[in-house]
């Protein structure tokens, strides 16, 4: 058989795969409709594992890993579709947000970072020694927001600031890139309000992967499937568990878009822990 003949056969098989895929997605739509009515969960890892074991039982060992990867990928794509359809069929998006940023007048900041904020704000800044102190000033009403450098681009991120966002119900609402001493810093404003405006182009999230092989790859693939670019990602050891990490990521996306809500909905349901840490505009 010549190479050209092999390619024609591959084209024929690809056509069959396409036909079967379209049929399978129609069935996935039926599943989404039923689950939207019953409130049943979309992701059932135990059932998927049984299906994978059954389908791969009679596959030759030399292609079993590849076939397993294919089946898993088909299941991931099917679930992606079902999450979007579920939000269309049932009003169940679990994250509450405001459509406009609140008016913020009294920021709390670290003393060493006050010089980075606009001059007209400096007189109203309440100073703290640590980011935990900044969070306390917001929580007790002494300040209505906080400001701080979350990333020194090319040098590193602030674990302390990420930590108080995660643990205190605080959300980034603004981001300003400042050039200081020849390198850029991201100065963010955060408050107790999660607001998502139409012009926002960034979402900050935190997630903890489920503890099994390929879980991080699955999450990153999930994000890529929605056409979303990651503008920053880093991990921090999660002290509440053994051998696990909190993953922080900044997505180049708008929170109010229908497909992005489906992505957030999927991440909430398919990670061990998930939080939205802000929606904002950032022009680097």
* Confidence tier at 28 by pLDDT (50, 70, 90): very high
Whether domain 202-280 has CATH 3.30.70.580: the reply is: no
The CATH class, in words, for 107-191 is: alpha beta
Per residue in 174-203, pLDDT tens? 999 999 878 899 999 999 999 999 999 999
SS3 for 67-119 is HHHHHHHHHHHHHHHHHHHHHHHCCCCCCCCECCCCCCCCEEEEHHHHHHCCH
Domain boundaries defined on the chain: 3-90, 107-191, 202-280
Quick check: helix, strand or coil at residue 163? Answer: helix
Six token digits for residue 220: 């990153």
Per residue in 127-149, pLDDT tens? 999 999 999 999 999 999 999 99
Six token digits for residue 68: 């397993």
Place of tokens 């092989």: 213
* Confidence tier at 210 by pLDDT (50, 70, 90): confident
Is the pLDDT confidence value at 1 over 90?
no
As a 3-state breakdown, the chain gives helix, strand, coil percent values, each rounded to 5, of 45, 25, 30
pLDDT at 82 (0 to 100)? 96
CB 260 within 8 A of CB 228: yes
Q: How far apart are CA 172 and CA 40, in angstroms?
A: 33
Calculate what percentage of the chain has a pLDDT beyond 70: 98
Six token digits for residue 80: 């992606």
Checking phi first, is residue 278 left (phi over 0); if not, alpha (psi -120 to 50) or beta?
Answer: left
- CATH number at 3-90: 1.20.59.10
Chain-centre distance of CA 155, in angstroms? Answer: 23
Q: Structure pTM?
A: 0.92
């Amino acid at each position: 058989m010549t190479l050209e003949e092999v390619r024609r056969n591959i084209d024929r098989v690809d056509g069959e795969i396409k036909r079967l895929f379209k049929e399978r997605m129609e069935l996935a739509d039926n599943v989404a409709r039923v689950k939207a009515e019953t409130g049943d969960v979309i992701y059932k890892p135990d059932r998927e594992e049984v299906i994978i074991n059954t389908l791969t039982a009679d596959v030759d060992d030399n292609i079993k890993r590849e076939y397993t990867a294919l089946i898993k990928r088909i299941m991931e794509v099917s679930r992606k579709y079902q999450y979007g359809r579920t939000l269309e069929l049932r009003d169940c998006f679990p994250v509450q947000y405001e459509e406009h940023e609140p008016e913020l007048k009294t920021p709390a900041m670290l003393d060493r970072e006050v010089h980075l904020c606009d001059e007209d704000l400096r007189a109203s800044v309440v100073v703290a020694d640590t980011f935990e102190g900044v969070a306390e000033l917001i929580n007790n009403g002494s300040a209505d927001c906080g400001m701080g450098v979350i990333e020194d681009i090319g040098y590193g991120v602030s674990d302390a600031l990420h930590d108080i966002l995660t643990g205190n119900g605080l959300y980034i609402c603004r981001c300003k890139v400042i050039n200081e001493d020849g390198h850029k810093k991201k100065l963010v404003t955060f408050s107790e309000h999660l607001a998502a405006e139409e012009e926002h182009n960034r979402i900050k999230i935190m997630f903890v992967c489920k503890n099994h092989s390929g879980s991080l790859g699955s999450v990153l693939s999930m994000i890529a499937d929605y056409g979303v670019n990651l503008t920053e990602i880093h991990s921090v050891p999660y002290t509440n568990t053994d051998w696990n990490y909190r993953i922080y990521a900044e997505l180049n996306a708008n929170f109010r878009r229908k497909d992005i809500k489906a992505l957030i909905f999927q991440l909430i349901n398919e990670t061990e822990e998930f939080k939205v840490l802000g929606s904002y505009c950032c022009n680097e």
